[in-house]
Structure 1
Amino acid sequence: MTSLGGRRWWVLAALVVILLAVSLDLTALNIALPTLSAQLGAGTSALQWIIASYTLVSATLLIPAGLIGDRYGRKKTLLGGLALFLVGSLIATLVSSPAGLIAARTLMGIGSAAITTLAMSVLVVVFPPEERPKALGAWAAASFLGLPLGPIIGGYLLDHFWWGSIFLINIPVSAVALVLGFILIPESRAASAPRPDFAGLLLSTGGLVAMVYGTIQEDEYGWSSPGVWGVMAAGAVALVAFVAWTRHVAHPLIDLRLFADRRFTGGVVPATLLTFAMFGVLFVAPQYFQAVLATTPLGSGLRLLPLIGGLVVSSRLGAPLVKRIGPRLTIALGGLLITAGMVYGATTTAESGYGLAACWLTVAGLGMGLMLPASMNAAISALSAEQAGVGSAVVMTVRLVGGAFGAAVLGSLLSAGYRGRVDVAGLPPAAAEAARAKVGGGLAVAERLHDPRLLHSARAAFTHGMDVTLLVGAGIMMFAALLALILLPRRGADEAMGNGQSTHEYVSA
């Protein structure tokens, strides 16, 4: 809107700052997992919920947040999301239990969904078409910078302050963005917007939460427990009911007809499986650095840079490669590189040094940088102008759900692999139980008892669990590469993707 004059760049500054805070938050938290395990007494299931509560809530609310903003006012919804993110961050700095942190992360996830969805809509309203590419470029850069900065900033804060400091940075940033947004952002809403599908939201959210809950609890209680299979069965029934409801309601939460297009499905499915594996890597790698290599949180963040570096480098090469060989082969090549990296990472032992980790993380990062932009653009290319908004939200929703399941499933594999290998023979019953209770338990007990045998056993057990996790992730990525080759058409997607449009805005979406 040209009537805003130069003030619209202040609007952009406010939106970019809060987006950077949102993107920093998730990657910084992964560095804090070992610290949370030690200082909050959080076991693997609690750590999985600290991650999954945020991503699952954010994923399921992306589309409803957009519909609510269109119907009741984008500015109101965005500022409400900012306020919730601020309050959740404040609570997170004050809580002293895993349950309290999970509740705070849930609030932050609700706020994040509104911020992510509505800020893009505000940019479209505020900036005229000739200035929109520059604004969207700044928006994309903020998302992209969160990847490398999150682990480094989070590691520095953890090295110098208490664990809650990783959330403290969100408070002034959110407050400034809230004030600027209130003053500068114009209110807007759609001329006609359908009533949000709250029944569909309830069914989909309930089903997904139940499935994730069962997956996380399986490691503790086993598949035979009614609290596991019963909850997962209820979740499956809710998701089936959601699909049935979606087919008959006039304005569904998700238009399932999008998945009938092979370009859309061939892009979304590999991107979702990649997010599944990527969240698993970010769950286990920082814990490996701190538990086995005995690094500081800052050192752990710096040791993730090969993954980020590989991703950044190959994402720059992705668009030219798509023009040359097409999206099918680009996605498949990326999947094979990730597979190779994870298989190499699965050779890690307790005696392995950082050199091996740096190599497999670099190779995996190179594959991610090729695969994710090409997959996202393949999906987006299938959307008409009328479908662009809701279609993009569907892509992000499915990917974030995949991320929540990735942290849950691969985290459970890590825990199961550890518990099956840690040697607690000869320990007093209480110490033995503490050593097996959580992934880092054996290390804490070994340090307390000054037991070098248990320390070596715990580290070997951790690397075994990580190796199993990486091998499963490698299988998933091989499957993703094959699906891209099978689902994506040979010509249609290639032509749509070969028009030279930039893909960088989708790298961190």
Structure 2
Amino acid sequence: MGDDLQTLQQRFGPRYPQWLLAVLMVGSMAMILAATSINVALPAIMADFAIGRPLAQWLSTGFLASMTAGLLLAAWAQARFGARRTAQCGLLLFIISSLLALVAFAAWQLIALRIVQGLCAGIVQPLAMVLIFRVFADGGRGMALGIYGLGVMLAPSLGPAIGGYLVDNFGWAAIFWMPLPMCLLAMLAGQWLLPDQRLRSTPRLDVLAFVLLCVAIFAALGFLAEAQRFAWIAPRVWLTGALAVITVGLFIWRSRRATQPLLPLTLWRHGGFRSASWVALTLGLGLYGSTYLIPLYLQTVEGFSAGRAGMLLLPAGLLMGMASFFGGWLSDRLSAAVLLSAGLLIFALSAAGLAWVGQGASFVLLCFWACVGRIGLGVLLPALSTGSLDILSSEELAQGAGAITFVRQLGGAFGVNLLTFFLEWRHSAEGGDQWAELLAFKQSFWLVAGVFTITVVAAWGVKSTRA
């Protein structure tokens, strides 16, 4: 059976929940640092491997896509192997892939290793929320979630800042060894502190549905990536597109007939949940797309170093954490539709501001507009969680929380991909020179502003249907 939480609490005493919370924070922050710090290293990697943006963006989208798929394996892995074995194996594989990245000599090797890292992150991260809910069942859960959330919010801000400094002084390879100390610490402490209890009746994993979903996601991303480099009639373009359509259809067919579907499609029978999913997709695009687009713009157009580009996002991330706390307080007092609309419009204003400022704008002005956007995201995150789950029945809450997280991550993966597609298209259409580069980035920011503004229509549909 293994050590359960009650046994571990008796062994380590009343301070055990706090020690476990610290381990979970360290492990989650390591995964998030790896996800966000790569963006400041992209120009250096592109120069070193002589690749363009269509291929380099896979370092970000590949991680996000495999992380999205990994989320669906987390609950099954914890039930089948226990939290300790699941976390230890995930962290060990993450460490091995990070070390292999240091000796990679081709771009495709780095991309493959990033996909492995993303899968590990997708499996390991959801364990934290489950264990916090269980270990703090007798009280203090709200404070524990707040402390954990603060760490998770700080990590995306620290990632580009620390990563930028390391890239400037040690090269892009430093991005891959940066999270290793935290991973090793989480592995060492987790060997004693993580529960190892397994369920007698493990839910069956629908392997075929998982394979179909992974093929569908990567085929769709591959279709968009290849369309940036080749004509639409090229076999490598339309074949990947056709594969994506076929596998999506097969996945839906499989899920509708399964007794325990990998992704419960019945959740989307609620009109409010469908509206919340549109907001989640847009949120993912804004959260990960801006983290990708802003550092690239600062280094490519404004001539910032990787360290300076990362530092610009640091205060923005800190404000995002504060706004998230404030947004959580507001979510108990205002409707989700109002808060979601406000957050979307605030972020749209930020994207429009970045599109409006001219080349050579001051560090302070660029930082101001980045901060405005992070405030909008901070308001959006808690409102989306409460608004999407309040629509569902109590029996659907666990499935709904996983599904809305899956949709948000999917929006991040496709958001980065689509922004790269749009950026390359506009760069070519405007002439392909340095001036075209500036215009392409400006138009990309305007596109993001437009998408967030239009999504306000969906936000007004996020209303509770329960009495």
- TM over 0.5, shorter chain: yes
* 2:169 alignment counterpart: 160
1:179-190 paired onto structure 2 within 5 Å: 179-190=188-199
Contact 1:71 1:195 in 2 (8 A): no
Is structure 2 residue 49 aligned with structure 1 residue 40? yes
Please say which of residues 308-317 and 61-70 is displaced more in the overlay: 308-317
Displacement after TM superposition at 1:56 (Å) = 0.5
Letter in structure 1 aligned against 2:308: G
Distance in 2 between the 1:393 and 1:320 partners? 23
CA deviations 1:186-216 (Å, max 9, x no partner) are: 2122343321111111111111110011011
Q: Deviation per CA, 1:366-414, whole angstroms, max 9, x where unpaired? A: 3222222212221122344443333222111111111110110101111
1:484 maps onto 2:454 in alignment:
no
Change (3 A) 1:52 1:128: same
Asked if 2 retains the 8 angstrom alpha-carbon contact of 1:215 and 1:412, the reply is yes
Q: Which amino acid aligns with 1:3?
A: Q
> How far apart in 1 are the matches of 2:194 and 2:371?
41
Q: Which residue of 2 aligns with 1:453?
A: none
Report % sequence identity.
27
Could you tell me which of 1, 10, 16 is aligned with 1:3? 10
- Paired position in structure 2 for 1:407: 416
| Mapped partners of 1:138, 1:392: distance in 2 | 20
Task: Please tell me whether residue 195 in structure 1 is matched to residue 169 in structure 2.
Answer: no
Range moving further from structure 2, 130-139 or 152-161: 130-139
Other-structure match for 2:218? 209
How far is 1:341 from its partner? 2.2
CA distance in 2, matches of 1:360, 1:76: 43
Q: Which amino acid aligns with 1:476?
A: V
Q: Counterpart of 2:69 in structure 1: which amino acid?
A: T
Question: CA shift at 1:313, angstroms?
Answer: 4.2
1:304 partner SS: helix
Equivalent in the alignment of 1:317:
326
Q: Is the 8 A contact 1:289 1:300 kept in 2?
A: yes
Change (3 A) 1:127 1:311: closer
Which one-letter code corresponds to 2:73 in the other structure? P
Q: Is residue 264–residue 381 contact of structure 1 (8 Å, CA) maintained in 2? A: no
The residue aligned with 1:219 is: 228
Distance 2:179 2:367 in 1: 30
| Structure 1: distance between partners of 2:193 and 2:321 | 33
Question: Which of the numbers 382, 385, 406 marks the counterpart of 1:373?
Answer: 382
Specify the code of the residue in structure 2 equivalent to 1:103.
Answer: A
Greater CA drift, 314-323 or 82-91: 314-323
Q: Give 2:407's match in structure 1, choosing from 392, 398, 401.
A: 398
Change (3 A) 1:340 1:135: closer
Partner of 2:425 in structure 1? 416
| Matched residue, 2:271 | 262
**For the Cα contact (< 8 Å) 2:391–2:465, is it kept in 1?**
no
Comparing 335-344 with 148-157, greater Cα deviation is found at: 335-344
Please show how residues 285-296 of structure 1 align to structure 2 within 5 Å.
285-296=294-305
* Counterpart contact for 1:83–1:111, Cα < 8 Å: no
Contact kept, 8 Å, 1:414 with 1:466, in 2: the verdict is: yes
Distance change (3 Å), C-alpha of 1:121 and 1:374: closer
- What is the deviation of 1:158? 1.2
1:123 and 1:321 map into 2 onto residues whose CA distance is: 23
Structure 1 pair 3–384 and aligned structure 2 pair: CA distance change class (3 A)? farther
Report the equivalent of 1:114: 123
SS where residue 130 of structure 1 aligns? coil
The 1-side partners of 2:428 and 2:172 are apart by 26
Residues 399-446 of structure 1, C-alpha deviations (whole Å, 9 max, x = no match) = 1111110110101111222233356xxxxxxxxxxxxxxxxxxxxxxx
TM-fit CA distance, 1:292? 2.0
Aligned to 1:75: 84
Amino acid at match of 2:10: S
Structure 1 CA distance, aligned partners of 2:207 and 2:416?
27
Using the TM superposition, give the Cα deviation of residue 140 of structure 1 relative to its aligned residue in structure 2, in angstroms: 1.8
Cα distance in structure 2, aligned partners of 1:229 and 1:348: 38
The question of whether the paired residues in 2 share the 8 Å contact of 1:274 and 1:480 is answered with no
Is the CA contact (8 Å cut-off) linking 1:288 and 1:462 kept in structure 2? no
Q: Supply the distance in 2 between the matched residues of 1:122 and 1:269 (Cα, whole angstroms).
A: 29
Structure 1 gaps, min length 5: 424-456, 496-509
For residue 309 of structure 2, the aligned residue among 288, 300, 310 is: 300
Give 1:269 deviation, angstroms. Answer: 2.0
Q: Secondary structure at the match of 2:57?
A: helix
Question: What is residue 3 of structure 2 aligned with on the other side?
Answer: none
Contact 1:93 1:167 in 2 (8 A): yes
Match of 1:463 in 2: 438
Matched position secondary structure for 1:192: coil
Q: Structure 1 residue 13: deviation in Å? A: 2.3
Tell me the equivalent position of 1:239. 248
State the alpha-carbon separation in 1 of the partners of residues 136 and 330 from structure 2: 32
**Per-residue displacement from partner, 1:135-193 (whole Å, max 9, x unpaired)?**
43332222111022111111111122121112212222212211221233221223433
Note the aligned Cα RMSD (angstroms): 2.2
Report Cα offsets for 1:68-113 as digits up to 9, x if no partner: 2213323221211111111122122232321111111111112111
- Could you say what secondary structure the match of 1:187 adopts? coil
> Under a length normalisation based on structure 1, what TM-score does the superposition of the two structures give?
0.84
Residue 305 to residue 171, structure 1, CA distance change in 2 (3 Å): closer
The answer to whether the 8 Å contact 1:267/1:377 transfers is no
1:434 is aligned to none
- Select which of 68, 71, 87 maps to 1:59: 68
> Are the aligned partners of 1:266 and 1:378 in contact in 2 as well (CA < 8 Å)?
no
- Secondary structure, aligned partner of 1:387: helix
Bigger CA drift: 52-61 or 338-347? 338-347
Aligned residues of 2:216 and 2:244 also touching (Cα < 8 A) = yes
User: Larger radius of gyration, structure 1 or 2?
Assistant: 1
Q: CA 1:121–1:358 in 2, change beyond 3 Å: closer, same or farther?
A: closer
